[in-house]
Structure 1
């Protein structure tokens, strides 16, 4: 079966088996190994990617289901100006002890901050509730997301608006 998937801004066309999971497509076919594969039963959340901006567990999504859609992996978080605020927050607040759950947590956090620029601790905990971390106890992860929200907001207020840069 032919699939066409935009991954991290690049279009990929590939022939896959109908039962080929998105997590396998990303890791094995595209060699994007930042998406981790943990339980294979949709319990742990280590395989979370963004599908059209929404977090999904890629171990439960067929590659064929992602055809015609946009997928963002942890490799696609970093922008032209450097680390995404979520990545920087995880570093600053020590939210990535062993690192196994970190890519999925970061993508879930990015999706949350894209819809809610100032989430409460409760909202952050709700957003990451479908993901398991056996190292941190979640406190540093919550702090990392708050750090990202604060620094993202600060960066947006410090940068000139598009109308100012366009001379309007």
Structure 2
């Protein structure tokens, strides 16, 4: 059983791909997602964009390494995700053999062991761009609901 939902969330973000700029940031539970207003200067948004790009690279590397661990164990990525989701949802109806269950637990333990390194690399990318993790997350949360801020970020990243 996975000890951290954050790891599970990251695992699925990696294996299923990223759909938006905010996929790599900590997601709040749905009921807590609400408009977060943050005053962000162009300079700070530029730092955020730089950190975000570096975090994306860390995530791509992490995705490859985690997928490699899954495949090395003999699992198909899709089957691993199916079993993993079932391990997180007690109501899921997925047939899993004892061998698959054991192998899944071993792979999850390996992936959990890798998380610290990736987390450090992400935090380093943030601090290297003169932001702290809390501020980065605050901007990321604001980006989830602030369309003007999203447009400013898109322009920065395209320019």
Normalising by structure 2, report the TM-score. 0.29
Larger Rg: 2
Please state which structure has a larger fraction of its residues in helix.
2
Normalising by structure 1, report the TM-score. 0.28
